[in-house]
Structure 1
Amino acid sequence: MPRTIRSSQGFTLIELLIAIAIIGILASIALPAYDSYIAKGRIKAAQADLVGLSLNLENAYQRTLAYPVATPADTSATKTAFPGWQPAEASFAYSVNSAASAYTLTATGSSGRLAGCIITLTNGNVRTIASCGAYNGNWL
């Protein structure tokens, strides 16, 4: 009787479990790093939005030698008060506190991990970040 050689096809259960364990370990490392990367990108976009809004105020100052007096409390009111400005980051609420001689711009995180994150910019170029987890202190 001739001998037949059986070839192994497929994976054993142990090999499959090892592969799933390795994928799980890699995912547990990669997902928090990716989430942190996304949060940092949103903070950067909010900072850029504040700089863009400050340019609108500085432009008005150059034309009239006074900042426009405005205190819009939310993003839609801010967009109405400054039609030349459009925010790129929707997960922040933007507000302006402006007098003829000074202003303070604020972006407040409104969703997810950045809820309560406060980023400010003043006419004296004082930039602060608060309640943003690992990103507190000066601008990144």
Structure 2
Amino acid sequence: MNKNGFTLIELIIAVVIIAILASIAIPSYQNYITRSKIKEAQSNLIALSLSAENNYQRTLNYPTASLTTSSALVANTVFKSWAPSSNAFEYKYVSTDGSTYTLTATGNETKVSGCTLTLNNQSVKTISGCGSVTEWMK
């Protein structure tokens, strides 16, 4: 370093180092965000499942309904205490006969578009189209 400040070479080296660090950090951060949205969807499906199971304990039937949007779920009396924590996923509940149900979360946002998670009354969990996430996270 000379007495007047940094040389052009020193500044270029600093910019290159910052660019290298950014090229490593940004994809890792984006993957972290995607995984957190998927984990959030899993938590929401489990919360909905608990509401359905609670109803089953009281009435010996799951709520018979086909609720195909998150807003329809929130409006239903069985799921009234639940609300999605974000709009990253759209949630669905289907039970045609009251003896079984299937919950589905489908990705709405760009990072989770095409990602689908399901959970049924037998605790069978599936996940598809979620990129590098191929199974339910713990």
Aligned with residue 100 of structure 1, among 98, 101, 109: 98
Structure showing greater radius of gyration is 1
Counterpart of 1:100 in 2: which secondary structure? coil
Q: CA deviation at 1:89?
A: 3.1
Normalized against structure 2, the TM-score is what?
0.93
Aligned with residue 61 of structure 1, among 42, 56, 60: 56
> Over residues 19-78 of structure 1, what are the superposed CA-to-partner deviations in whole Å (9 max), with x where a residue is unaligned?
000000100000000000011111111100000000110010000000010111111011
Question: Gapped runs of 5+ residues in structure 2?
Answer: none
Question: Gapped runs of 5+ residues in structure 1?
Answer: 1-6
What is the number of equivalent residue pairs in this alignment?
133
Q: CA deviation at 1:121?
A: 0.4
Instruction: Output aligned runs, 1:7-86, within 5 Å.
Output: 8-81=3-76, 82-86=79-83
Matched residue type, 1:55? L
The 8 Å contact of residues 60 and 68 in structure 1, kept in 2 or not, is answered as yes
Runs of 4+ in 1 over 6 A off after TM superposition: none
Residue 109 (structure 2) pairs with residue 111 (structure 1): yes
CA RMSD of aligned residues (A): 1.0
Structure 1 stretch displaced more, 75-84 or 125-134: 75-84
Distance 2:110 2:32 in 1: 14
Partner in structure 1 of residue 86 of structure 2: 89
Q: CA deviation at 1:9?
A: 2.6
